[in-house]
C-alpha cells in the first residue's frame, strides 16, 4: 500500500487483555481500524499477572528474550512476548517484568485500595523498555502514538535523552489524553529511581514542585490529541477541567486536536453480541428478552412498562454519582428500576449497596468488573444514565445508542458531542441531555425520559434514531491518519 505508515501504539491497557475503562476499548479498536486501513501498526503494553499466556497464546520473540533497561544505577532485565488482538492481525508486544508488572491489578492494588507505591518506576521502566524493544526489533516507527500518563514519558525521553539518537531521528510523537484528571504525579524524590539526574535542566517534567509524567508528555510531544472536540476545548478554557495544566495546554494550543472516539461494532452491536439475545432496529421487540434476563439476574420484578435504567461505570467522582445520591428516593418514585454495575470508591459502593437494600424491587447493584454483564445491561435496559461531572468522551452512551437504550447524559465533553436532546430537538433527539451539574436538572431529564417512555410510539422512534447513528471508527481513524501524515511530513522537512 502507498503511504503505509509504521505506527507504534502504546498503552497501559488494551482490551481484552487488560481493562479498567474505556481506554482499553479505544487502544484495541483504533489499532484494529488502522490495520484494516493498511497501516503497519504494532502495540506495546505491560504483561500484567492477570494476562493469561495460554488463553491469548503469547509467544516468545527471540530478539526480545533479554531487554536490559537501565534506571539510575540499576539494570533491570526485562523481556517481551508477542500475540495478536483476538480475531485480528494486530501484533501486540507484552513487556514482561514480574517485579513491576506481575501483580494482577493495573494501577491500584485492590488489596489496599491504594496506588502501587512504585507506579513511577513501573511506568518509567515501561517507557524505557519500549524504546529498547523498538531498537531490538530494528523497526523504526514513523509515529509513536502514546496514550495517557503511563506512556507520556516517551516524547520526553526522545526529546532529552535520545535527542541525538539517529534511530529515532524521523520518529514523530502524538500524545492522546483520555482523561486529564489522571496525570502520574509523584514526589521529586522518585527522580533518581527513574534514572533522571538532571531534572533541574528539564522543567518540562516538573510542576507544582512535583514530577508529572503527563505534563512532560504535553510539553514534548509533537502533537496532542484528546478524545472529543468538546473536551479539547473544555480543557483549554475551563479552570476545573484543565486540572492544573491550563497554562501548559494554552502554550500548546496550536498542536491540540479533538478527535472523537469510535465504536467497535463487531464487539458492541445487538445483532452480533455473543452475550445477549440478538435484536436489531427492525425487531426491537426482541430486546425484551434481554430485559427479562437482566431483571432475573438482578432479582428485580419484571414489568415491561417499568422503565429500567442501566449504569455501567467506574464508581468515581468524575461520573456524577453524588447527584444520584441526592435524589435516589425521587428516582424510585418515578416508578423506575435501576441496575448498577461498577467498582471504585468505597463511598459509592456503600451508597449503592444501601440504596439496593432500601429499595429491593427497584434497585440492584453489582459491585464488580464483569464484561458479560456490561453487555447485558446495554441490551436489557430501556435507558442508560451518565450524569458525569466531566467526560472526555464516554463510550457507553455510544454503545447505548446502538442498543436502542436511550442515553440520559449531562452536556459535557464527548457526551455533548454524541447525544441530542429529544426535548429541545424533537425531530432529531436520540436521548435526554441536561446541562447544569445539579440533581434537579438530572431529575428533570429523567422525568422527561420516563414520560417519553410511556408514549410507546414516540419511544421506539427515539430508539431507532439512536440505533442508526454511525460512530464506527472509520472517520476518526482517518482523522488520526491525517494527523500522523502531517507530523511525518513535518519531521522530514
The single residue listed with the C-alpha cell 531521528 is: 169
Q: Which of 93, 64, 69, 91 is nearest to 79 (CA)?
A: 64
Site for ligand GLC in 247-286 (CB under 6 A): 261
DSSP 278-305: ---GGGGGGHHHHHHHHHHHTT----TT
Residue 73 grid cell: 544505577
Binding at 40: pick from ligand ADP, ligand GLC, none (beta carbon under 5-8 Å per type): none
Total interface residues for ligand ADP by CB under 6 A: 18
What is the DSSP-derived secondary structure letter of residue 143? E
Q: Does 369 bind ligand ADP (CB under 6 A)?
A: yes
Q: Does residue 341 contact residue 373 with C-beta atoms inside 8 Å?
A: yes
* Nearest-angstrom CA–CA distance, 454 and 258: 37
Q: Which stretch binds ligand ADP (CB under 6 A): 20-28, 53-61, 303-311, 480-488?
A: 20-28
What is the DSSP-derived secondary structure letter of residue 411? S
Residue closest to ligand ADP, measured at CB: 22
Q: Does residue 408 contact residue 319 with C-beta atoms inside 8 Å?
A: no
Binding at 227: pick from ligand ADP, ligand GLC, none (beta carbon under 5-8 Å per type): ligand GLC
- In the complex with ligand ADP, the residue whose CB is nearer, 219 or 338, is 338
- In the complex with ligand GLC, the residue whose CB is nearer, 96 or 234, is 234
Alpha carbon of residue 424 to chain centroid? 29
* Nearest-angstrom CA–CA distance, 432 and 409: 6
Q: Residues 94-133: x/- map of binding to ligand GLC (CB under 6 A)?
A: ----------------------------------------
Binding at 342: pick from ligand ADP, ligand GLC, none (beta carbon under 5-8 Å per type): ligand ADP
Site for ligand GLC in 164-183 (CB under 6 A): 178-179
Candidate list 130, 157, 312, 355; residue touching ligand ADP; CB under 6 A: 312
Candidate list 7, 8, 11, 23; residue touching ligand GLC; CB under 6 A: 23
- In the complex with ligand ADP, the residue whose CB is nearer, 124 or 393, is 393
Q: Does 419 bind ligand ADP (CB under 6 A)?
A: no
Q: What are the helix (H) ranges across 381-468? A: 396-402, 413-418, 439-454, 456-468
Candidate list 394, 404, 431, 466; residue touching ligand GLC; CB under 6 A: 394
Query: Please, how many CA atoms are within 13 Å of residue 93, restricted to the half-sphere of its CB?
Result: 27
Q: Does residue 229 contact residue 260 with C-beta atoms inside 8 Å?
A: yes
Q: Which of 288, 339, 311 is nearest to 456 (CA)?
A: 288
Q: How far is the CB of 393 from ligand GLC (least distance, A)?
A: 4
Q: How far is the CB of 49 from ligand ADP (least distance, A)?
A: 19
Candidate list 5, 11, 26, 33; residue touching ligand GLC; CB under 6 A: 26
Q: Does 320 bind ligand GLC (CB under 6 A)?
A: no
Q: How far is the CB of 388 from ligand GLC (least distance, A)?
A: 8
3-state secondary structure (DSSP) of residue 394: coil
Q: Which of 462, 284, 294, 283 is nearest to 378 (CA)?
A: 294
Give residues with Cβ within 8 angstroms of 461, minimum separation 6.
none
- In the complex with ligand ADP, the residue whose CB is nearer, 129 or 341, is 341
Instruction: Please confirm whether the linkage preceding 267 is cis (ω < 30° from 0).
Output: no
Binding at 396: pick from ligand GLC, ligand ADP, none (beta carbon under 5-8 Å per type): ligand ADP
Q: Which residues bind ligand GLC (CB under 6 A)?
A: 21-23, 26, 178-179, 227, 261, 391-395, 414
Amino acid at each position: 500500500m502507498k503511504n503505509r505508515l509504521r505506527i507504534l501504539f502504546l498503552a497501559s491497557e488494551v482490551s481484552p487483555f487488560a481493562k479498567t475503562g474505556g481506554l482499553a476499548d479505544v487502544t484495541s479498536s483504533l489499532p484494529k481500524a488502522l490495520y484494516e486501513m493498511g497501516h503497519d501498526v504494532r502495540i506495546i503494553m505491560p504483561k500484567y499477572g492477570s494476562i493469561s499466556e495460554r488463553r491469548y497464546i503469547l509467544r516468545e520473540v527471540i530478539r526480545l528474550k533479554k531487554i536490559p533497561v537501565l534506571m539510575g544505577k540499576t539494570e533491570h532485565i526485562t523481556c517481551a512476548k508477542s500475540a495478536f488482538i483476538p480475531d485480528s492481525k494486530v501484533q501486540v508486544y507484552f513487556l514482561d517484568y514480574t517485579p513491576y508488572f506481575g501483580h494482577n491489578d493495573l494501577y491500584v492494588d485492590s488489596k489496599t485500595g491504594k496506588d502501587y507505591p512504585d507506579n513511577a518506576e513501573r511506568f518509567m521502566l515501561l517507557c524505557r523498555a519500549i524504546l529498547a524493544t523498538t531498537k531490538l526489533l530494528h523497526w523504526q516507527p514513523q509515529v509513536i502514538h502514546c496514550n495517557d500518563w503511563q506512556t507520556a514519558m516517551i516524547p520526553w525521553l526522545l526529546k532529552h535523552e535520545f535527542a541525538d539518537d539517529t534511530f529515532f531521528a524521523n520518529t514523530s510523537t502524538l500524545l492522546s489524553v483520555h482523561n486529564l484528571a489522571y496525570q502520574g504525579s509523584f514526589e521529586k524524590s522518585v527522580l533518581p529511581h527513574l534514572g533522571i539526574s538532571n531534572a533541574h535542566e528539564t522543567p518540562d517534567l516538573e510542576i507544582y514542585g512535583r514530577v508529572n509524567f503527563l505534563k512532560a508528555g504535553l510539553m514534548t510531544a509533537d502533537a496532542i490529541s484528546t478524545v472529543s472536540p468538546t473536551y479539547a476545548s473544555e480543557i483549554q478554557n475551563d479552570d476545573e477541567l484543565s486540572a492544573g495544566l491550563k497554562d501548559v495546554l494554552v502554550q500548546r494550543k496550536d498542536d491540540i486536536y479533538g478527535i472523537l472516539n469510535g465504536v467497535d461494532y463487531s464487539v458492541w452491536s445487538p445483532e452480533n453480541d455473543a452475550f445477549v439475545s440478538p435484536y436489531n432496529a427492525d425487531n426491537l421487540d426482541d430486546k425484551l428478552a434481554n430485559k427479562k434476563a437482566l431483571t432475573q439476574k438482578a432479582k428485580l420484578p419484571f414489568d415491561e412498562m417499568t422503565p429500567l435504567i442501566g449504569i455501567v461505570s467506574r464508581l468515581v467522582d468524575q461520573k456524577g454519582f453524588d447527584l444520584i445520591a441526592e435524589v435516589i428516593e425521587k428516582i424510585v418514585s418515578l416508578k423506575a428500576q435501576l441496575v448498577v454495575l461498577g467498582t471504585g470508591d468505597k463511598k459509592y459502593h456503600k451508597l449503592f449497596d444501601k440504596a439496593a437494600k432500601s429499595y429491593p424491587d427497584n434497585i440492584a447493584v453489582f459491585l464488580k468488573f464483569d464484561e458479560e454483564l456490561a453487555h447485558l445491561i446495554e441490551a436489557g435496559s430501556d435507558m442508560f444514565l451518565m450524569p458525569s461531572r466531566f467526560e472526555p468522551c464516554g463510550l457507553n452512551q455510544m454503545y447505548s445508542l446502538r442498543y436502542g437504550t436511550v442515553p440520559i447524559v449531562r452536556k459535557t465533553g464527548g457526551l455533548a458531542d454524541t447525544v441530542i436532546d429529544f426535548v429541545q430537538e424533537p425531530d432529531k433527539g436520540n436521548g435526554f441531555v441536561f446541562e447544569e451539574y445539579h440533581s434537579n436538572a438530572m431529575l428533570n431529564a429523567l422525568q422527561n425520559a420516563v414520560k417519553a417512555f410511556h408514549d410507546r410510539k414516540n419511544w421506539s422512534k427515539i430508539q431507532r434514531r439512536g440505533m442508526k447513528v454511525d460512530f464506527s471508527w472509520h472517520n476518526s481513524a482517518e482523522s488520526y491518519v491525517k494527523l500522523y501524515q502531517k507530523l511525518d511530513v513535518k519531521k522530514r522537512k
